[in-house]
């Protein structure tokens, strides 16, 4: 059975990586011998997703080269006309989106079965959450059961439950979004405040490649998962 549609956020500049992203989008940097995005696409296909979308922005020409099919699965590219941030990129692509769909940060590896994310009848979004220590690099989730009640700013926490960079959404979330809007700073906190956001805590290898040190560490973590 199909796991549905998966969209990948691959439009960011990756400024913390310095010269590494001067010519190459961050999700296309090499990890475990291949462009990082290819590991994410392979994982989506293995887990039954049958429609893939890359949401491109910075150095979009390199991303657009992937359009067509990936491992036999249709792969399309939505390119921002200008920098729209993560929420704006999804809104720009909404005519390509199904009623419900998966979203994956193009710079994050979170090794659980992505098809396990499911929206309840009362949710418009669900986050794959991960407990990490320390949690000082990330916003943390304030929970009441499985409902996210708030998203706390980064602080020096020894341990915390964080947004793991994999989500499931209803397309209606993006119907009224226009212009440059952040998924993390604007849309997710608004959904939490309205009681429309849940989180499912997952285990599995986790790393984002946003810093040179974590990019290097990703070689081992992603390589072990193949």
Over residues 89-139, the pLDDT tens digits come to 999 999 999 999 999 999 999 999 999 999 999 999 999 999 998 888 788
* Cβ count within 10 A of residue 66: 21
Q: Give the pair of three-digit tokens for residue 14.
A: 């990756």
Q: Which helix (H) or strand (E) holds 212?
A: helix 212-225
Treating both helix axes as pointing N-terminal to C-terminal, what angle do 212-225 and 36-46 enclose, rounded to 10 degrees?
Answer: 30
What is the DSSP code (8-state) at residue 138?
S
- Looking up tokens 């993006």, which residue turns up? 174
Residue 111: its pLDDT value, please? 96
* Confidence at 172, pLDDT banded by 50, 70, 90: very high
Query: What integer is the mean pLDDT of 160-179?
Result: 96
Q: Is residue 226's pLDDT more than 80?
A: no
The pair phi, psi for residue 84, each rounded to 5°, is -115, 0
Instruction: Using the predicted structure, report yes or no on whether residue 224 has a pLDDT greater than 80.
Output: no
pLDDT of residue 102: 98
**Confidence category of residue 80, pLDDT binned at 50, 70, 90:** very high
Rounded to whole angstroms, the Cα distance separating 161 from 149 reads 13
Q: Which fold has domain 4-225?
A: Spore Coat Polysaccharide Biosynthesis Protein SpsA; Chain A (3.90.550)
Segment among 14-18, 30-34, 75-79 with least mean pLDDT: 14-18
pTM of the shown model? 0.94
Q: Which residue has the higher pLDDT, 203 or 14?
A: 203
Alpha helices in 112-206 (DSSP H): 188-193
């Amino acid at each position: 059975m199909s796991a549905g549609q998966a969209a990948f956020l691959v439009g960011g500049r990756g400024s913390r990586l310095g010269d590494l992203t001067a010519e190459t989008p961050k999700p296309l940097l090499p990890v475990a011998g291949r462009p990082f995005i290819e590991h994410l696409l392979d994982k989506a296909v293995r887990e039954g997703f049958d429609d893939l979308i890359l949401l491109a922005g910075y150095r979009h020409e390199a991303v657009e080269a992937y359009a067509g099919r990936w491992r036999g699965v249709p792969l399309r590219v939505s390119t921002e006309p200008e920098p729209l941030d993560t929420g704006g990129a999804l809104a720009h692509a909404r005519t390509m989106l199904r009623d419900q769909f998966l979203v994956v940060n193009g710079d994050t590896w979170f090794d659980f079965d992505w098809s396990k994310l499911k929206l309840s009848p009362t949710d418009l979004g669900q986050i794959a959450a991960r407990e990490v220590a320390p949690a000082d690099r990330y916003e943390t989730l304030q929970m009441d059961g499985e409902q996210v009640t708030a998203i706390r700013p980064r602080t020096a926490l020894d341990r915390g439950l964080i947004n793991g960079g994999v989500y499931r959404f209803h397309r209606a979330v993006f119907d009224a979004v226009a212009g440059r809007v952040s998924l993390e700073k604007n849309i997710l906190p608004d959904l939490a405040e309205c009681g429309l956001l849940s989180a499912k805590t997952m285990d599995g290898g986790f790393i984002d490649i946003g810093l040179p040190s974590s990019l290097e560490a990703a070689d081992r973590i992603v390589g072990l998962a193949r």
